[in-house]
């Protein structure tokens, strides 16, 4: 626990379409089912997580609140007093809400597809994190970050190439990847994640590997 409170994980990218909200929901689902008291904040104006939750009948048993204003940092701190992990999904572009969320993050997760535009956006996101870490408030306790390869084509060499190029440039990546699997769409249609449908599926194993690395990075 951080000062007696839970950890705050922020999903951040400066480009939409990276699978950010799916990764956020996947992480939260695995953490909760793994025994952690888990809460989510939907700070994306598109409200993807709230929409996803409301598709379920009954809704998924996961606390999700909306907060798209600059009050997101205080909202996260409040939730962290009652939860072991708080996952914040932000907009796919730079705004004040994203910066405020990053200001209280213990870990930033940057989802990235294996494409030139996504690579450029991920690098810009790292620069934003470095800006936040350079502030007086964060300098004594800088947040860590990891890049997460998403929507990976199974068996393709492209993701391996992107991973190697980014690693050689000094960027830190999760070993885990979220592959492009149709079960994500199928699960989302009923307000669930793959682990809810089949905990032994390849997609559920992907998600579990991702959540395990996040927990390790947070000391959990």
Spell out the per-residue pLDDT of the chain, length 220, in tens: 455 589 999 999 999 889 999 999 999 999 999 999 999 999 999 999 999 999 999 999 999 999 999 999 999 999 999 999 999 999 999 999 999 999 999 999 999 998 888 999 999 999 999 999 999 999 999 999 999 999 999 888 999 999 999 999 999 999 999 999 999 999 999 999 999 999 999 999 999 999 999 999 998 7
Rounded alpha-carbon distances, angstroms, from residue 206 to 27, 172, 217: 10, 18, 17
Distance CA 10, CA 19 (A): 14
Chosen CATH of 7-217 out of 3.40.50.300, 3.40.50.1220, 3.20.20.70, 3.40.50.2000: 3.40.50.300
């Amino acid at each position: 626990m951080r000062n007696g409170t839970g950890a705050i994980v922020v999903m951040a990218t400066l480009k939409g379409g990276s699978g950010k909200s799916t990764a956020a929901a996947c992480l939260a689902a695995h953490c909760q089912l793994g025994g952690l008291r888990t809460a989510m904040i939907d700070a994306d104006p598109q409200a993807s997580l709230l929409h996803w939750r409301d598709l379920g009948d009954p809704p998924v048993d996961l606390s999700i609140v909306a907060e798209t204003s600059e009050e997101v940092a205080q909202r996260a701190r409040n939730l962290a007093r009652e939860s072991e992990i708080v996952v914040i999904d932000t907009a796919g572009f730079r705004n004040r809400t994203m910066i405020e969320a990053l200001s209280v993050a213990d870990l930033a997760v940057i989802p990235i597809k294996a494409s030139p535009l996504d690579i450029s956006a991920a690098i810009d996101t790292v620069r934003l994190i470095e800006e936040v870490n350079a502030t007086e408030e964060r300098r004594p306790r800088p947040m860590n970050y990891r890049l997460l390869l998403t929507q990976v084509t199974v068996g393709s060499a492209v993701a391996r190439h992107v991973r190697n190029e980014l690693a050689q440039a000094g960027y830190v990546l999760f070993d885990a990847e979220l592959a492009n699997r149709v079960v994500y769409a199928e699960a989302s249609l009923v307000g669930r994640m793959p682990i809810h449908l089949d905990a032994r599926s390849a997609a559920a194993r992907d998600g579990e590997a991702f959540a395990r690395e996040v927990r390790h990075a947070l000391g959990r």
